[in-house]
């Protein structure tokens, strides 16, 4: 259907015929995701023994393929969507018939997604998020782009009319679903930008994931490939004259190279050709290589924003921006919209779009207590350092005590962490600055705060200290180790501003 053709949503409609292929793709993907270890063992055993394998597995594969094809066809012909006077209705079900009814006024956001299978056939997936739902309640797998835009426009218009607002000339630009292709994006990430972002990412986190996944994977298949991981590691350490330092120096360059390549690939896949527009009462984002995501962030749903920078990003003059929306706890990660690289001009434009500029100005600042450094040093420096030192001494004698160098390193790290902690406050917002390598700055409007809780450990009670847990609809933040009287005054002030505000938090 062309975009200019009118779509009568009151009559039941099926998805695009291409939905059959999309559903089939999802069937196969789920089966492979669940049974790939079995398939891998089958292939490896066949190659190591020189046998072609049991034909029973071939018959099972053919049977699964036939079931997938038949299931895709049945799912397509048993799926309908239509609207009533007040609801969107979905009827579906492969074996058990389901009817899902969603009132228009419960619809929160409507986004589109294009996985690689959608991009190949020129269709989109429509996702509808509803109030109080822990996951996407409605997802129409394959629609023509024009049909998806008409459905999105119709649902947003009906929602607004039910809320008692005008729906024609005075409707907000965001609900007119403008064609963003004709607007100039505020941000458009180029290949050079993605390389800069990839270079400046957290490579330590990626390295730990690689090590953990690699050890687990080799541990599972070492019998099949006749490879003893732990014996190999011990042999490598022995060849390095029992020196852990030399062994690490041997492995570190290779690990860093692999980490950099994987991080760069992840960055390109997730944020390829990311575009950001400011339109109407919100922000539009679009990004992705194999899966193309398009989402609209309504201003009233934004609970807080966070921008950050590390030394490498500072060289490139880049900031990372995260926009947190109202959501259930299970959906917080998905509701965090990330812009991994933007320059200061774009950052300030996006901040001014989310909240008034004067809210960012003229704040009073305080810092956390110096006692916080001692606790960090104890938990992350002294106790682990002594334990590692004892293990090293037991293994290698006096040379093994080099692990004790960890203790002064953590003291230095904890000092930087404490010095960088800043809490800013004015009549409109709370500002938090914190971090070691990646310095993060959180901005939370006071009327978005839903709860403030004062916490004290036995150590804090004995030293007249306290921490504050601040909750919003997008998650919680903690301000650690404030003087007790300051923490109580800050908590009372925040609660007063929340209760006296007439602004709606969403």
CATH of the domain at 496: 2.30.29.30
Residue 246, burial from CB neighbour count under 10 angstroms (0-12, 13-18, 19+): middle
Higher pLDDT, 146 or 506: 146
Kindly state whether residue 383 falls inside one of the protein's structural domains: yes
Residues 379 and 443 in one domain: no
Kindly state whether residue 270 falls inside one of the protein's structural domains: no
Provide the residue range defining the domain that includes 391. 371-417
Among the candidates 141, 156, 177, a domain finishes at 177
Look at residue 416 and tell me whether its pLDDT is greater than 80.
Answer: yes
pLDDT at 139: 87
Kindly state whether residue 335 falls inside one of the protein's structural domains: no
Higher pLDDT, 283 or 280: 283
Cα(352)–Cα(283) distance, integer angstroms: 12
> Which long-range contacts link 402-407 to residues 24+ away (Cβ below 8 Å)?
402/245, 406/381, 407/377, 407/381, 407/382
CB atoms closer than 10 angstroms to residue 235: 11
187-202 pLDDT, tens digit each: 999 999 999 999 998 8
pLDDT at 108: 80
Cα(357)–Cα(341) distance, integer angstroms: 21
Among the candidates 177, 208, 243, a domain finishes at 177
Q: Sheet containing 98-103: which strands, arranged edge to edge?
A: 80-83, 87-92, 98-103
If you average pLDDT over every residue of the chain, what do you get? 83
Residues 104 and 92 in one domain: yes
Q: What's the pLDDT band for 329 if we cut at 50, 70, 90?
A: very low
CB atoms closer than 10 angstroms to residue 460: 21
CB 75 within 8 A of CB 129: no
What contacts 288, CB < 8 A, 6 or more positions away? 114, 269, 270, 271, 272
Residues 76 and 151 in one domain: yes
Question: Rounded to whole angstroms, what are the CA distances from 362 to 299, 325, 344, 429, 443?
Answer: 23, 26, 20, 11, 14
Cα(388)–Cα(383) distance, integer angstroms: 9
Residues 382 and 457 in one domain: no
pLDDT at 179: 53
How many structural domains comprise the chain?
3
Q: What's the pLDDT band for 65 if we cut at 50, 70, 90?
A: confident
355-370 pLDDT, tens digit each: 999 999 899 999 999 9
Nearest in space to 170 (alpha carbons), one of 162, 179, 180, 160: 160
Higher pLDDT, 206 or 418: 418
CA distance between the termini of the chain: 36
DSSP track, 46-75: HHHH-----HHHHHHHHHHHHHHHHHHHHH
Residues 123 and 139 in one domain: yes
Residues 428 and 377 in one domain: no
Look at residue 229 and tell me whether its pLDDT is greater than 90.
Answer: no
Residues 494 and 377 in one domain: no
Residues 383 and 473 in one domain: no
Cα(11)–Cα(19) distance, integer angstroms: 19
pLDDT at 233: 55
Residues 395 and 461 in one domain: no
Residues 388 and 462 in one domain: no
Kindly state whether residue 401 falls inside one of the protein's structural domains: yes
Among the candidates 177, 195, 215, a domain finishes at 177
Kindly state whether residue 348 falls inside one of the protein's structural domains: no
Kindly state whether residue 10 falls inside one of the protein's structural domains: no
Residues 447 and 409 in one domain: no
Q: Name the range with the highest mean pLDDT among 75-89, 214-228, 344-358, 392-406.
A: 344-358
Q: Name the range with the highest mean pLDDT among 263-272, 287-296, 307-316.
A: 307-316
Nearest in space to 298 (alpha carbons), one of 275, 281, 276: 281
CB 448 within 8 A of CB 388: no
Look at residue 175 and tell me whether its pLDDT is greater than 60.
Answer: no
Higher pLDDT, 95 or 381: 381
Cα(31)–Cα(359) distance, integer angstroms: 51
What contacts 266, CB < 8 A, 6 or more positions away? 198, 206
pLDDT at 396: 73
Kindly state whether residue 195 falls inside one of the protein's structural domains: no
Mean pLDDT value across residues 120-140: 79
Q: What's the pLDDT band for 176 if we cut at 50, 70, 90?
A: very low
Residues 61 and 162 in one domain: yes
Kindly state whether residue 240 falls inside one of the protein's structural domains: no
CB atoms closer than 10 angstroms to residue 190: 11
Q: What's the pLDDT band for 171 if we cut at 50, 70, 90?
A: very low
Mean pLDDT value across residues 438-461: 96
Q: What is the DSSP letter of 420?
A: H
Looking at the chain, the whole-number percentage of residues with pLDDT higher than 90 is 46
Q: What is the DSSP letter of 13?
A: B
């Amino acid at each position: 259907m062309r975009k200019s053709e009118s779509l009568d949503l009151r009559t039941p409609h099926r998805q695009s015929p291409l939905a059959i292929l999309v559903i089939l793709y999802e069937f196969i993907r789920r089966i492979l995701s669940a049974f790939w270890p079995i398939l891998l063992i089958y292939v490896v055993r066949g190659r190591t023994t020189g046998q072609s394998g049991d034909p029973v597995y071939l018959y099972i594969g053919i049977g699964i393929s036939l079931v997938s094809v038949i299931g895709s066809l049945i799912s397509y012909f048993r799926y309908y969507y239509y609207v009533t006077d007040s609801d969107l209705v979905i009827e579906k079900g492969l074996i058990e018939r389901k009817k899902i009814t969603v009132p228009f006024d419960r619809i929160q956001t409507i986004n589109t997604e294009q996985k690689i299978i959608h991009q190949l056939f020129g269709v989109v997936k429509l996702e509808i998020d509803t109030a109080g739902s822990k996951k996407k309640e409605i997802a129409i797998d394959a629609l023509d782009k024009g049909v998806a835009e008409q459905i999105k426009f119709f649902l947003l218009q009906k929602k607004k009319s039910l809320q008692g607002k005008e729906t024609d000339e005075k409707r907000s630009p965001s609900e007119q679903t403008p064609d963003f292709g004709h607007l100039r994006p505020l941000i458009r990430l180029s290949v050079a930008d993605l390389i800069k972002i990839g270079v400046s990412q957290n490579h330590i986190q990626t390295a730990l994931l690689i090590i953990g996944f690699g050890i687990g994977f080799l541990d599972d298949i070492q019998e099949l490939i006749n490879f003893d991981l732990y014996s190999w590691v011990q042999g490598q350490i022995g060849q390095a004259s029992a020196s852990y330092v030399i062994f690490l120096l041997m492995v570190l360059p290779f690990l860093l190279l692999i980490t950099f390549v994987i991080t760069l690939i992840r960055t390109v896949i997730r944020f390829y050709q990311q575009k950001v527009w400011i339109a109407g009462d919100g922000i539009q984002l679009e990004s992705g290589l194999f899966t193309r995501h398009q989402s609209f962030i309504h201003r009233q749903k934004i609970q807080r924003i966070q921008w950050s920078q590390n030394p490498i990003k500072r060289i490139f003059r880049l900031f990372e921006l995260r926009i947190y929306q109202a959501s259930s706890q299970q959906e917080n990660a998905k509701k965090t919209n990330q812009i991994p690289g933007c320059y200061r001009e774009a950052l300030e434009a996006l901040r001014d779009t989310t909240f008034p500029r004067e809210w960012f100005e003229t704040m009073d600042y305080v810092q956390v207590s110096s006692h916080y450094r001692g606790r960090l040093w104890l938990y992350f420096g002294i106790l682990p350092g002594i334990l590692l030192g004892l293990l090293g001494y037991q293994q290698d004698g006096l040379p093994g005590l080099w692990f004790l160098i960890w203790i002064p390193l953590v003291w230095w790290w904890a000092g930087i962490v404490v010095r960088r902690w800043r809490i800013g406050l004015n009549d409109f917002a709370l500002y938090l600055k914190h971090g070691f390598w990646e310095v993060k700055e959180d901005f939370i409007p006071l009327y978005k705060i839903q709860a403030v809780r004062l916490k004290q450990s036995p150590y804090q009670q004995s030293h007249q200290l306290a921490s504050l847990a601040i909750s919003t609809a997008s998650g919680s933040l903690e301000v650690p180790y404030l003087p007790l009287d300051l923490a109580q005054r800050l908590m009372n002030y925040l609660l007063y501003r929340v209760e006296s505000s007439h602004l709606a938090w969403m």
